[in-house]
Amino acid sequence: MKNNYKKTLDEILNKKFSKNYSIGYDPLEVDMFFDKIRTFISKQYQKELEYQKIIQEKDKKIENLESKIDKSKQSIAVLNSEIKKYVDDGYQSQRMINQISDLRREIADLKNDKKE
């Protein structure tokens, strides 16, 4: 896009008209009109450059946010894995507690049987 503006500006600035004062447009008016066009195109070009800069900044922010999201997803996956491990360990512990409790009952029953 930059080259298009430069080319257009160069064409406007370097445009030559044949001078025929008996008929046609006033060269001063034509020059003034082209000056307005050149000014307009220059302003548009500057706006485009500003917008391109803003877009680049926004793209960088998006990349940073996407990177943070990826890191957060990885952290969440690790935390979910740890939670699952704790839950599984909890079930394991509960099963062991139940087994110990069953063994204590069996021991108590055996002791009671011995006394009788």
Question: Domain limits of the chain?
Answer: 2-15+23-115
Residue 5, pLDDT above cutoff 80? no
* Mean of pLDDT values over 7-34: 74
Residue 116, pLDDT above cutoff 80? no
> Residue 99, class by beta-carbon neighbours within 10 Å (0-12 exposed, 13-18 middle, 19+ buried)?
exposed
Residue-wise pLDDT tens digits, 21-67: 667 777 788 888 888 888 888 898 899 999 999 999 999 999 999 99
- Of 21, 10, 96, 93, residue with least CA distance to 45: 10
Residue 1, pLDDT above cutoff 60? no
Give the pLDDT of residue 90.
Answer: 77
Residue type (1 letter), 85: K
Give the pLDDT of residue 67.
Answer: 96
